């Protein structure tokens, strides 16, 4: 465990040391690339509440999360969660139907292949025109970003189920519903979960873009605000926070995948 921790942190720690030394000796302009120590102090200032704690007026927990960073972090996470749920909630049933029924696949596939290459950023003007400012256009962009990875992986998973499994189930007298629930869905699950993991990653990218354009809080908005005032240390602090939140979300998704696919891991190792 300790050796694994050392192996996973040695490169980031080494880069921080090089970065700190280079900044101390003014290899880079401190305005353009401040030292990690300066970024860390700005990150602490960004996170802590600026109002003194008053036990008579508020609880400690509410006071602790009243800082700018916790509020921005929650706003970004909330938008990612809602947008991802909308996008994945629409993509999963459509992907299952398109993968399982050839007529539905032939009907929707041309439209999907036309829309899929368009990056969600291209929809920014339309999202503002349709939904105005605030959370609705952000939800639209995030759900759009999550929709296609989940959809395409679901279709691929269902359409690439080994024909031997299907023939064996049919020979044993399985009904259409039993075939779908006991054979197709478990076989397609690795692809579906991969699509969900990729989709939430794309949703996280889209939320930062949306917050730089359509809302007035969140990590993306705060980075754009810091750029206006040339606060490069706060920009980097916000970027690091985005990376840590993305790492946490991906770790949770990875743990969920490993838990749901534990039967699949057992088959691979046998």
| Residue 270 host element (H or E) | none
Q: Which two tokens stand for residue 213?
A: 């354009």
Cα angle: 90, vertex 149, 241; to 5 degrees: 100
Q: Average pLDDT, stretch 153-165?
A: 84
Distances (CA, A) of 113 to 42, 107, 202, 252: 45, 12, 18, 31
Q: What is the largest CA-CA distance in the chain?
A: 76
The predicted structure's pLDDT at residue 61: 61
Where would I find the H helices in 101-216? 102-115, 124-131, 135-159, 163-171, 176-179, 185-211
* Domains of the chain by residue range: 70-109+116-269
Report the alpha-carbon distance of residue 188 to residue 97 in Å, rounded. 13
Given a contact cutoff of 8 angstroms between Cβ atoms, the answer to whether 53 and 60 are in contact is yes
Checking if the pLDDT of 267 tops 70, the result is no
Minimal CA–CA distance to 184: which of 67, 96, 61?
96
pLDDT one-digit tens code per residue, 82-99: 999 999 999 999 998 898
pLDDT one-digit tens code per residue, 218-258: 888 888 888 888 888 888 888 888 888 888 888 888 888 88
Checking if the pLDDT of 161 tops 60, the result is yes
What is the rounded average pLDDT for all residues in the chain?
A: 83
Under CATH, to which class is 70-109+116-269 assigned?
Answer: mainly alpha
Q: Which two tokens stand for residue 162?
A: 């080994």
Report the alpha-carbon distance of residue 55 to residue 58 in Å, rounded. 6
Distances (CA, A) of 6 to 9, 110, 161, 248: 5, 49, 41, 19
Share of the chain above pLDDT 90, in %: 17
pLDDT one-digit tens code per residue, 46-62: 877 766 655 556 665 66
pLDDT band with cut points at 50, 70 and 90 for residue 64: low
| Residue 56 host element (H or E) | none
pLDDT one-digit tens code per residue, 183-217: 778 888 888 888 998 998 898 888 888 888 878 88
Contacts of 66 (CB under 8 A, 6+ apart): 49, 51, 58
Given a contact cutoff of 8 angstroms between Cβ atoms, the answer to whether 170 and 180 are in contact is no
Report the alpha-carbon distance of residue 147 to residue 153 in Å, rounded. 10
pTM higher than the cut 0.75? yes
Minimal CA–CA distance to 71: which of 238, 235, 236?
238
């Amino acid at each position: 465990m300790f050796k694994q921790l050392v192996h996973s942190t040695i490169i980031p720690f080494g880069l921080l040391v090089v970065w700190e030394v280079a900044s101390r000796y003014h290899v880079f302009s401190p305005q353009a690339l401040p030292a990690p120590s300066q970024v860390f102090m700005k990150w602490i200032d960004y996170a802590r509440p600026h109002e003194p704690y008053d036990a008579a007026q508020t609880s400690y927990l509410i006071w602790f999360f009243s800082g700018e960073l916790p509020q921005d972090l929650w706003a970004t996470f909330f938008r990612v969660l809602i947008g991802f749920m909308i996008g994945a909630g629409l993509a999963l049933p459509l992907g299952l139907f398109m993968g399982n029924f050839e007529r539905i696949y032939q009907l929707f596939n041309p439209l999907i292949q036309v829309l899929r290459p368009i990056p969600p950023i291209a929809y920014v003007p339309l999202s503002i025109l349709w939904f105005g400012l605030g959370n609705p256009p952000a939800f639209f962009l995030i759900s759009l970003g999550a929709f296609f990875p989940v959809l395409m992986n679901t279709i691929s998973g269902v359409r690439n189920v080994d024909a031997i499994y299907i023939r064996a189930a049919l020979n044993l007298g399985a009904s259409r519903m039993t075939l779908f629930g006991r054979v197709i869905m478990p076989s397609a699950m690795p692809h579906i979960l991969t699509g969900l993991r990729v989709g939430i990653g794309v949703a996280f990218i889209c939320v930062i873009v949306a917050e730089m354009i359509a809302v007035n809080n969140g990590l993306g908005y705060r980075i754009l605000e810091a750029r206006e005032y040339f606060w490069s240390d706060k920009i980097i602090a916000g970027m690091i926070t985005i990376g840590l939140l993305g790492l946490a979300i991906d770790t949770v998704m990875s743990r969920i995948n490993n838990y749901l696919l534990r039967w699949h891991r057992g088959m691979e190792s046998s």
